[in-house]
Amino acid sequence: MTKLQTISGSFRMSLLHFFADPQWIIPNIIAPFVFTIVALVLFGNVSTSVALYAVLGGGMMGMWGNTLYGSGFALAFDRWNGTIEYVLATPSRLVWIIAGRSASNAVLGLVNALAIVLVVVIGYGTLFVVANPVLFILALIVTLASLSALGVIFCSAFLLSRSAQVMTNGLEMPIYVATGSMFPIALLPLWSHPISLSLGPTWGIDAMRYASDAAYSGLGFGYWTDLLVVAASTAIYMAIGFWLFVVVEKKVRRDATLTEY
């Protein structure tokens, strides 16, 4: 009961901060936005299926970009603000506080998808329709959970190691490539496939495509297998994140590195 309260309180606070300064999302989603527009130009003829591909891919990249930067820096924000000691002194576990923020960041990443939708509709005059909205929403929610859980891992990595901040810059592009957000992972070298397949979002976007386009075949395992894998990945990421945060909390109390940044 309290965990849920912590997560929802954190989620809400994070959203409030977004609405207070919405422009700060731009750095996190500018790359996905530009990449998607370039993709649209490269595709040339923007049919409804292309538009869908672009919106989904762009949305995924936006969610990824915002999760990565937003969650990675989630506690750094508290450091700069001077609120970190107060947050740490509450009986709520850090991991749930960050989970809430991470979830809000993943959701806000959808802003990128909205921006792409606008470009596609206004710029190209193309509309698109999702074949099965219910399954689509389900896949979206599960994928958001997976991304949030990944965000939790990043945040703890940031706290454990200053040079883990290298990871944010280092992970943005590789994930756009590895999750097959804009092109099938079949095109990538064979040795990289296990990496791609170990990422929840890869399966998530596949599931969303299945739900949007009746003719889609993708990874070949079908919608429900995809969904199962994403859910499993979420559980695994949360377990890792949980363990990492236990380490973080102990370290932070031992080494007094909280206020440093």
Residues contributing to the site for other proteins (CB under 8 A): 2, 5-6, 8-10, 12-13, 16-17, 20-21, 23-24, 26-27, 30-31, 34-35, 37-39, 41-44, 81-83, 85-92, 97, 162-163, 165-166, 169-170, 173-174, 176-177, 182-184, 187-188, 250, 253-256, 258
Q: Can you tell me whether residue 251 is helix, strand or coil?
A: helix
Nearer CB in complex with other proteins: 220/254: 254
Residues 6+ positions from 111 with CB-CB distance below 8 Å: 25, 29, 62, 66
Q: Which is nearer to other proteins, 2 or 224 (CB)?
A: 2
Shortest Å, Cβ 205 to other proteins: 14
Q: How far is the CB of 1 from other proteins (least distance, A)?
A: 8
With 0-12 / 13-18 / 19 or more C-beta atoms within 10 angstroms meaning exposed / middle / buried, residue 234 is buried
**Minimum CB separation from other proteins for residue 90, in Å?**
4
Q: How many CA atoms lie within 13 A of 55 on its CB side?
A: 25
Q: Which two tokens stand for residue 175?
A: 């994930």
Q: Tell me how far apart the alpha carbons of residues 158 and 39 are, in angstroms, rounded to a whole number.
A: 32
Q: Which is nearer to other proteins, 32 or 135 (CB)?
A: 32
State which amino acid sits at residue 260: E
Of the pair 39, 147, the CB lying nearest other proteins is at 39
The answer to whether residues 84 and 75 touch, using CB atoms and an 8 Å cutoff, is yes
Q: By three-state DSSP, how is residue 37 classified?
A: helix
Minimum distance of other proteins from residue 250's CB (angstroms): 8
Instruction: Pick the closer one to other proteins by CB: 79 or 236.
Output: 79
Nearer to other proteins, 2 or 48 (CB): 2
State the nearest-atom distance from the C-beta of 191 to other proteins, in Å. 13
Under DSSP, the state recorded for 179 is: T
Query: Minimal distance in Å, beta carbon 249 to other proteins?
Result: 8
56 three-class SS? helix
Annotate 110-170 with DSSP letters as a single string.
Answer: HHHHHHHHHIIIIIH------S-HHHHHHHHHHHHHHHHHHHHHHHHHHHH-GGGHHHHHH
Q: Which residues contact 235 (CB under 8 A, 6 or more apart)?
A: none
Please identify, using beta-carbon distances, which residue of 86 and 224 lies nearer to other proteins.
Answer: 86
Q: CB 117 → other proteins: shortest distance, Å?
A: 18
